[in-house]
């Protein structure tokens, strides 16, 4: 049973892979961490909602939502967004508001130029808190989940040999740049292990422990209960990947897997693993792991057995998750890192640029390449 932070697998090293030979730090400054949303769809240019593409730092999504609600005298519930973002970063994100609720604008008679002028006039009241990059228009409000993924640009500072590997690096090992490029090439070929990061579980696993107690009958407010049970779901997924790695199938399909298409997100059954192995190797598809809940589809054969073993370790059943009224889902086990780029700023600092699907953690991606230092453990 999970008892504390160290017991939670959150990096490739926790699954048994050799730890990276380099260490480094991220989030030394907010400007070191840039994230830009990749929308699930493009705004059509027509409709009853305005989409604002906003860049900001030192404000989280909830705080931006509150600023926009005050600016346009709207209830907070009428400001839409697709995903939550951290305050300790430079974030570019879309927010939506109903055009017919904005003072001074008539959605039927106001031209695009008039609307844009009025918005910019009202935006001046924010005194530079939010940078408005673009105004778009669409038929519906943004909702949580209307997000394909995120594009990250992260500066890693103080690169050097990791403490536990410095003695193992000889003069033939290569420069820091060569070592990092070699690691990047390896994981670009293999794909990223789609683990949940430490933020999901709370300090020393506190959120996970709360979730387990809620599933045992302890009462809590709904938002806290949902947060805790989500941590249990996430732990189950990470533990499932650990079991899969122990069987030598972390990067391979099993008969009976439920696989997901990397581009479309479509899920399908794999009766015979060998028939889809080339697509798995190329990153076109991945097997999926369990996010237990009432709507989760189950695989068959050895993949199903691993899920049953995961539940047994937790001391839970599928019915226990269904009783908590969580929807459940399938989550890709391996995701492509084909677009990973390294741009060196100095000999000891590098920008890592890559895209991840919604719900995947940038710090987990980086942990494949370097050991992150203490101040780097907040996950995005």
Confidence of residue 323 (pLDDT cuts 50, 70, 90): very high
Measured CA to CA, the distance from residue 191 to residue 260 in angstroms comes to 14
pLDDT at 170: 47
Mean pLDDT, the chain, as a whole number? 91
Given CATH 2.60.40.420, say whether it is the number of domain 41-145: no
> Is 338 a residue whose pLDDT tops 50?
yes
Please give the CATH number for the structural domain made up of 193-335: 3.30.2350.20
b/e string for 70-106 if b means 16 or more Cβ within 10 A? ebbebeeebbbbbbebbebbbbbbbbbbbbebbeebe
**Closest CA relative to residue 338, chosen from 299, 284, 292, 293:** 284
pLDDT at 225: 94
Give the pLDDT confidence of 212-247 residue by residue, as tens digits.
999 999 998 999 999 999 999 999 999 999 999 999
Phi/psi for 316 (5° steps) reads: -125, 170
Confidence of residue 112 (pLDDT cuts 50, 70, 90): confident
Phi/psi for 157 (5° steps) reads: -105, 165
Site of tokens 């600023």:
67
Strands 349-357, 341-346: parallel, antiparallel or unpaired by DSSP?
antiparallel
Report the pLDDT averaged over residues 33-54.
95
> Is 46 a residue whose pLDDT tops 70?
yes
> Is 312 a residue whose pLDDT tops 90?
yes
pLDDT at 171: 43
pLDDT at 126: 87
Give the pLDDT confidence of 162-175 residue by residue, as tens digits.
876 555 554 445 68
- Check residue 237 and give left, alpha or beta (phi > 0: left; psi -120 to 50: alpha): alpha
Find the Cα–Cα–Cα–Cα dihedral 265, 269, 272, 274, rounded to 10°. Answer: 0
> Is 69 a residue whose pLDDT tops 90?
yes
Q: What's the pTM?
A: 0.89
> Is 141 a residue whose pLDDT tops 50?
yes
> Is 253 a residue whose pLDDT tops 90?
yes
DSSP state letter for 59: -
Site of tokens 């422990």:
209
Measured CA to CA, the distance from residue 7 to residue 297 in angstroms comes to 27
Q: Where in the chain is the domain with CATH 3.30.2350.20?
A: 41-145, 193-335
């Amino acid at each position: 049973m999970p008892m504390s932070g160290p017991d939670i697998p959150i990096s490739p090293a926790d699954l048994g892979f050799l730890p990276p030979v380099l260490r480094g730090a991220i989030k030394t400054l907010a400007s070191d961490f840039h994230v830009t949303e990749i929308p699930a769809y493009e705004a059509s240019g027509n409709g009853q909602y305005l989409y604002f593409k906003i860049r900001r730092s030192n404000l989280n999504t909830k705080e931006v939502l509150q600023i926009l609600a005050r600016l346009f005298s709207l209830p907070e519930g009428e400001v839409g967004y697709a995903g939550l973002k951290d305050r300790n970063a430079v974030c570019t994100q879309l927010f939506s508001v109903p055009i017919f609720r904005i003072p001074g604008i008539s959605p039927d008679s106001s031209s695009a130029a008039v609307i844009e002028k009025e918005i910019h006039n009202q935006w001046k009241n924010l005194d530079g808190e939010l940078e408005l990059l673009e105004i778009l228009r669409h038929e519906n409000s943004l909702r949580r989940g209307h997000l394909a993924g995120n594009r990250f640009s992260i500066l890693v500072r103080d690169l050097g040999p990791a403490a536990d590997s410095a003695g193992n690096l000889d003069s033939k090992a290569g420069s820091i740049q060569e070592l990092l490029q070699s690691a990047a090439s390896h994981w670009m070929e293999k794909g990223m292990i789609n683990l949940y990061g430490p933020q999901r579980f709370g300090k020393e696993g506190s959120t996970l422990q709360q979730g387990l107690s809620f599933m045992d009958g302890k009462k809590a407010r709904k938002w806290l209960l949902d947060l805790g049970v989500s941590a249990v779901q996430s732990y189950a997924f990470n533990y499932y990947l650990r079991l899969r790695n122990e069987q030598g199938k972390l990067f391979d399909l099993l008969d009976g897997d439920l696989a997901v298409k990397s581009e479309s997100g479509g899920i399908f059954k794999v009766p015979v693993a060998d028939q889809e192995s080339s697509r798995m190797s190329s990153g076109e598809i991945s097997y999926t792991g369990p996010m237990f809940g009432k709507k989760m589809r189950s695989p068959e054969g050895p993949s199903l057995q691993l899920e049953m073993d995961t539940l047994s370790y937790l001391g839970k059943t599928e019915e226990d998750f269904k009783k908590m009224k969580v929807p459940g889902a399938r989550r890709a086990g391996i995701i492509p890192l084909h677009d990973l780029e390294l741009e060196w700023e100095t000999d000891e600092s590098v920008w890592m640029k890559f895209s991840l699907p919604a719900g995947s953690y940038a710090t987990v991606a980086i942990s494949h390449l370097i050991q992150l230092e203490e101040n780097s453990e907040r996950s995005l």
